[in-house]
Amino acid sequence: MLRMIKNYLNEIYRVLRPGGHLYISSVVKKWYGWYFYRCNDKWVLDPTHLREYASPKEFYDLLIDVGFKILDQKLSLFKLSVGNAFNRIILKFGIINENKLRKSKISNIFSNLRIPVFGYYVIEVIVRK
């Protein structure tokens, strides 16, 4: 898996023009992070993630190894939208249809509510070739 990620980053580096910029983000999971999904016998935020990094340094090192220069980075607590879960439940049980849900004031209020998922962080990085 790590080899696949390195290949992906090498290809981005190859096609990016000299001096070009890349914005990239991922998930950092602290040792105490826990969520409802399991993937490959690990608790994960999203079972479709190829990798959740253990530290920001681990993520930065991959970028630096390829040859990128880190210009800016940000680490913030992951916040899950209450609205997404609310909308999935409403649609799954057929309470109202999708068009009505989009126009719903209650749905709009819930979509702006976010709760932190402790132990999970969003890492955002801007790099230059």
Domain boundaries in the chain? 2-83+115-128
Bigger pLDDT: 34 vs 112:
112
Superfamily classification of domain 2-83+115-128: Vaccinia Virus protein VP39 (3.40.50.150)
Q: What is the pLDDT of residues 70-106, one digit of tens each?
A: 999 999 999 987 777 777 777 778 788 878 777 777 7
- Residues in Cβ contact with 121 at an 8 Å cutoff, skipping those fewer than 6 apart: 27, 28, 29, 30, 75, 76, 77, 78
> What integer best gives the mean pLDDT of the chain?
86
* Alpha-helix residue ranges (DSSP H) falling in 2-118: 2-15, 56-66, 82-92, 98-103, 105-111
Burial (CB < 10 A; 0-12, 13-18, 19+), residue 44, is buried
Q: What is the arithmetic mean of pLDDT over 51-79?
A: 94
Q: What is the pLDDT of residues 2-53, one digit of tens each?
A: 888 999 999 999 999 999 999 999 999 888 877 666 777 777 677 777 788 9
Cβ contact 93:60 at 8 Å: no
